[in-house]
Amino acid sequence: MILFSLCKLAAGPLPGTLWRRLGRLRREFLPTEGERDAAYLGAAGDRHDLEFRIREIDRSGRRARGPFGRF
């Protein structure tokens, strides 16, 4: 009976409170796209490398990453 309940719970949509908690964890532990871009641009060695990285960011149509992309 317990196994059936767990399977039924796993098959259904996650409760809203769990989605909110996962969203908070993502914001707490994973950097935002802006923070990732700033770190990437900050690692540029010279002006030419910086210009290349800026063009690369502008060109790429990056989507949200991973399973937490919808948060």
pLDDT in tens, the chain (71 residues): 566 666 666 666 667 787 788 888 888 888 888 888 999 999 999 999 999 999 999 887 665 555 555 54
Q: 36-49 burial, b for 16+ CB within 10 Å, e for fewer?
A: eeeeeeeeeeeeee
Asked whether the beta carbons of 50 and 44 are under 8 A apart, the reply is yes
Domain residues of the chain, as ranges?
31-61
Q: Is the pTM of this model over 0.95?
A: no
CA–CA gap between residue 19 and residue 71 (Å, rounded): 8
